[in-house]
Amino acid sequence: MIAKLTWRNLWRNRRRTLITMSSVTFAVFLAILMQSFQKGIFDNLVNNVVSFYYGYIQVHKQGYWNEQVLDNSFFYDDSLVMKLSGNPDIKGITPRIETFLLASVGNTTKGCMLVGTDPVKENLLTGLEAKIVEGKYFTNNEQAVLIAEGLAGKLKLSVDDTIILFGQGYHGAMAAAKYPVRGIVHFGSPALNDGLLYLPLTQAQFFLSAENMLTSLAVGIHEPEKMPAIQQQLLSVMGKSYEVMNWKELMPDIANHIKADGSSFYIFTGILYLIIAFGIFGTILMMTAERQYEFGMLIAIGMKKISLGKMLLFETLLITLLGVILGLLISLPFVFYFDKTPLRITGKMAEAYERFGFEALFPAAVNSSIFITQSLIVLVIAFLIGLYPLWHVSTINPVLAMKK
């Protein structure tokens, strides 16, 4: 009967209950949508920029990242691979030699980054073959390049056209060669899409006069959450001659952006929750004030204060729970829709995102923890507010409460 009483009490003032419930629903909906978008956007960003090229962790010769020149490359042999491949959390390791050089076609010359990589391992780590939009993937020892779509566009290159590369090789050696374009690849990140050029590893090493030398080992991992632990393991295995950096250290701008955006999200949801908290509190305050006489009467006839307080707490939780459930139900289709059909931003805002190396695509992440966390936060707020009537009831004097 207490449950029945609690339920019916909720609907004494139907309009007020519906308004309170709607505000909770709206808060949960907004918070879930915001966090799903935030996570979706960041996941997409990390996917675009990190797992599409950099890998979650990179190993370099000590000092390479501060001075990214070929002379800071390291000798690559099987013992090095053995050190790394024993870790079951590592998905794959891609050896690379990277350098900046000039690419020229006719009268057009553009700066680009040459990446010499093992075609098979690169494909396993970053799925490079799937990014081919024209032409085909290259093989080991093939004397041909893959070029990023944006760069190809700037150089007006098509598949089977020839590109001339020139720059500086290992220890100041002159590097110049021409290669046919085997395929054109598309990257989500404009920064990568406008500047990358791939050669098979051995070809690149030969071209740069850097046989068996590497500038980096890109490490792919199965579970991004384990990145700090894997980084620590690698640090101890590789020793002080090498630097082991995670993607946040490799791209601090992006990591900082995610952090800053995360903070603004917390501030915004904090304000949202504060508004909701006041909304619920207002309802509870009115409810307790209106039913003062009744509380006095119930205590007078023999209802324990703690039982009355619990009943009021349940009323608060129930009204919130209904709002939360409604918020969850409404947000689900939106989150699923925007997961499958991400928002594509255009115009100046898109340009701003692209300048940061973001793909201006806003997908929503479908993640059960977001739904659970947001619901729990609102319920905890309601519980804390529900403690007010509990306290209020404990102070009621039935005689005073029943005085009009």
Partner 1 sequence: MNNTVIDAHNLTRIYDENTIPVYALNSVHLHITKGEFTAIKGPSGSGKTTLLNMLGGLDEPTEGYVNINGTNITQLKGNKLIDFRLNNIGFVFQSYNLIPVLTAQENIEFIMLLQKRPKAEREQRVTELLKEVGLIEKAGKRPGELSGGQQQRVAVARALAPKPQFILADEPTANLDSVSAGNLLDIMAKLNREEKMTFIFSTHDQRVIDRARRVITLEDGKIVSDTTPAPLVHTNS
Q: What is the pattern of x (binds partner 1, CB under 8 A) and - over residues 234-273?
A: ----------------------------------------
Q: Taking each helix axis as running N to C, give the angle between helix 368-394 and helix 252-290, from 0 to 180 degrees, rounded to the nearest 10.
A: 30
Region of residue 106 (left: phi > 0; alpha: psi -120 to 50; beta: else): left
Residue 379 C-beta: closest distance to partner 1, Å: 24
Give the nearest distance from C-beta 306 to partner 1 in angstroms. Answer: 8
Q: For partner 1, which residue of 41, 192, 299, 393 counts as binding (CB under 8 A)?
A: 299
Minimum CB separation of residue 399 from partner 1 in Å reads 5
From 75-83, 170-178, 244-252, 293-301, give the range in contact with partner 1 by CB under 8 A.
293-301
Candidates 260, 300, 329, 376; binder of partner 1 (CB under 8 A) is 300
> Could you say which residues in the range 305-324 bind partner 1, by CB under 8 A?
305-307
- Decide if residue 297 touches partner 1 (CB under 8 A): yes
Least distance in angstroms from the C-beta of 25 to partner 1? 24
> Minimum CB separation from partner 1 for residue 19, in Å?
19
CB nearer to partner 1: give 10 or 192: 10
The separation between the first and the last C-alpha atoms of the chain, rounded to the nearest angstrom, is: 28
Could you tell me which residues come within 8 angstroms of residue 233 by beta carbon, excluding any fewer than 6 positions away? 87
Q: Give me the 150-189 binding string for partner 1, x by CB under 8 A, dash otherwise.
A: ----------------------------------------
Spatial CA neighbour of 390 closest among 313, 282, 284: 313
Closer residue to partner 1 in complex, CB, 180/398? 398
Pick between residue 130 and residue 300 the one whose CB is nearest to partner 1.
300
Nearest approach, Cβ of 188 to partner 1 (angstroms)? 58
Indicate whether 3 belongs to the interface with partner 1 (CB under 8 A).
no
Binding residues for partner 1, total number by CB under 8 A: 24
- We find the least distance from the C-beta atom of residue 382 to partner 1, in angstroms, to be 21
Full 3-state SS string of the chain: CHHHHHHHHHCCCHHHHHHHHHHHHHHHHHHHHHHHHHHHHHHHHHHHHHHHHHCCEEEEECCCCCCCCHHHCEECCHHHHHHHHCCCCEEEEEEEEEEEEEEEECCEEEEEEEEEECHHHHHHHHCHHHHEEEECCCCCCCCCEEEEHHHHHHCCCCCCCEEEEEEECHHHCEEEEEEEEEEEECCCCHHHHCCEEEEEHHHHHHHCCCCCEECEEEEEECCHHHHHHHHHHHHHHHCCCEEEEEHHHHCHHHHHHHHHHHHHHHHHHHHHHHHHHHHHHHHHHHHHHHCHHHHHHHHHHCCCHHHHHHHHHHHHHHHHHHHHHHHHHHHHHHHHHHHHCCEECCHHHHHHHHHCCCCCEECCCCCHHHHHHHHHHHHHHHHHHHHHHHHHHHCCCHHHHCCC
For partner 1, the binding residues in 5-34 under the rule CB under 8 A are 5, 8-9, 11-12
Q: What is the dihedral of CA 54, 193, 140, 210, to 10 degrees?
A: -70
Cβ at position 372, least distance to partner 1 in Å = 33
Per CB under 8 A, which region of 93-101, 366-374, 379-387, 394-402 contacts partner 1? Answer: 394-402
Helix axes 305-340, 14-45, angle to 10 degrees: 40
Tell the smallest beta-carbon distance from residue 13 to partner 1 (Å).
11
Binding piece for partner 1, criterion CB under 8 A, among 167-175, 229-237, 297-305, 317-325? 297-305
Query: Which residue, 115 or 298, has its beta carbon nearer to partner 1?
Result: 298
| Candidate residues 1, 82, 174, 289; the one interacting with partner 1 per rule CB under 8 A | 1
Q: Does 301 bind partner 1 (CB under 8 A)?
A: yes
Shortest Å distance, C-beta 393 to partner 1: 12
Q: How far is the CB of 303 from partner 1 (least distance, A)?
A: 6
Residues near partner 1 (CB under 8 A) are 1-2, 4-5, 8-9, 11-12, 293-294, 297-307, 398-399, 402
